[in-house]
Structure 1
């Protein structure tokens, strides 16, 4: 088997390279305290897209720092009693996607909440100086500022706010609120479950935003991680602040949040992934203390993993 990273037996032992800030736990407790002070002011607007068996609505809510966040909300019509809810998170710079691709969940009795990440390809706001899209550069946004101003801190909190809203929606079964997504969506799935421990199942696929220093040392600061290279070239060409920069990135490194997850985890990794290297993903997976299962695709990279959607559906249905 070709190898782009460590041998598999070493990957299962790998614990990550990126520094963890000494005040990491206090940082996230302070962030969650800020979130608790935000009134979400939820607004539901019927969508132009409707089906006979599911109600489709645009859901808007407040995140931290004045952002107005959008999510697509699909609720099955009919049925009795509380039902499960799945939170869906999208890839970097993309958006929540089409209504129609979520109807399979609604057909099985799930409500769906699919969040547009602030400032990316959907309609959620990034109020950091301008309205409208800011598209990318989000890893390094705030890196020269106080750590509390890192943009991905705010995005992680948006996922927790969405989860809290999900628990309060009519007909939600609080024991069955789940999260899923791939790449950035996989990262946000981990973040959501770490910051809202009531998430009972999560299915991240090749999660992004893990172990930045390992990405750098593998010379893979390109594609989704290109902005790391750009930051050093433009702001620290001699790498005089390298340790400080990677330590600051540690606040938004999912390997350091993974230990806060309580929900059951089904995670997918392709061993040929040269966008989000396998070792970076294992750094997060190996620090999850909850019940967990890993599905490894030896010959696949950062691409569609055949069967992963079906396995995720079966997992959320409780049939795995």
Structure 2
């Protein structure tokens, strides 16, 4: 597979203008305040024995998300280790859910707690009952509620993801001062969003090949994947709905969240990525407000990024920042 975007020399300096939508901060302040106003307790049920695991404890968690609706998550911890443990809050890639706990054993093996957050409507355990305007005809989630930020699917999903950080404080054995956000593709975009909305409650964020960054660039340059849903939608509604659509999407753009995020950040980018073009990743990285920001470049990788070679990079990076568990 050839390079799918600009060369690395051009990408390093790629920092497109990214005007923030009017009322962006107030929109998110109001959205999160409304979600929190519904209250609701975090519930956790021990289910380790169902999965025949000997070194890991597993809890099936439900916490209140958008509109107070329950969001599913797995909480995994190394067995027999006293807390409080640093916790890696993990968000999932597009069209996937939390899956099974046996799919998420890396972080507990390294001594961390991990909260694996289901994606509403994408995972099987968290339905999406949210509003829609009836305009979506393209498959997937990108154009669901694209008539306005109030109705869009990602308003609900990002709210769920912020509420997952809220839930950490109610789960025993977790260190609320060492909350790390992680995820790849959509999960990486969600990690950026939560970092921008959660302030100093986040100790670090690790967005891998992040999706949901600079939607217009993504729609114009991605060769495959969910950005094409926007293209398909606008093909029939262009030109009169183009600006309206991107105005909506701007409220969920990782570039704007990056402009508000200050926690140490470890990005990754793949230069042969046909789904999340490298320029969209660098648009967010180069706008990131925190001074401690690093990007791992995988020059011959596609959307899989560094695959199995990436976790050792992340573990070492967290250790350098004092975020490794004390075992």
TM-score by length of 2: 0.88
Secondary structure of the corresponding residue to residue 207 of structure 2: strand
State the Cα distance separating 1:253 from its structure 2 match.
0.7
State the Cα distance separating 1:26 from its structure 2 match.
1.7
Q: Is the 8 A contact 1:87 1:179 kept in 2?
A: yes
Task: Provide the residue aligned with 1:68 in structure 2.
Answer: 70
Residue 298 (1) aligns with residue 266 (2): no
Change (3 A) 1:80 1:216: closer
Give the aligned CA root-mean-square deviation in angstroms: 2.3
Residue 264 (1) aligns with residue 264 (2): yes
Change (3 A) 1:39 1:126: same
Q: Which one of 51, 59, 73 corresponds to residue 53 of structure 2?
A: 51
- State how far apart, in whole Å, the 1-side matches of 2:267 and 2:153 are: 25
Tell me the matched-pair count.
Answer: 312
Q: Is the 8 A contact 2:184 2:208 kept in 1?
A: yes
Secondary structure of the corresponding residue to residue 144 of structure 2: coil
Task: Provide the residue aligned with 2:116 in structure 1.
Answer: 114
**Where does structure 2 lack aligned partners over 5 or more consecutive residues?**
133-137, 323-327
- State how far apart, in whole Å, the 2-side matches of 1:214 and 1:233 are: 16
How do 1:60-139 residues align onto structure 2 when only pairs under 5 Å count?
A: 60-128=62-130, 137-139=140-142
State the Cα distance separating 1:30 from its structure 2 match.
1.6
State the Cα distance separating 1:14 from its structure 2 match.
2.0
Q: Is the 8 A contact 2:99 2:123 kept in 1?
A: no
Q: Which one of 163, 169, 174 corresponds to residue 172 of structure 1?
A: 174
Q: Which one of 169, 182, 185 corresponds to residue 184 of structure 2?
A: 182
State the Cα distance separating 1:283 from its structure 2 match.
0.7
TM-score by length of 1: 0.89
Secondary structure of the corresponding residue to residue 217 of structure 1: helix
Structure 1 consecutive aligned stretches of length 4 or more whose deviation exceeds 6 Å: none
Q: Is the 8 A contact 1:19 1:247 kept in 2?
A: no
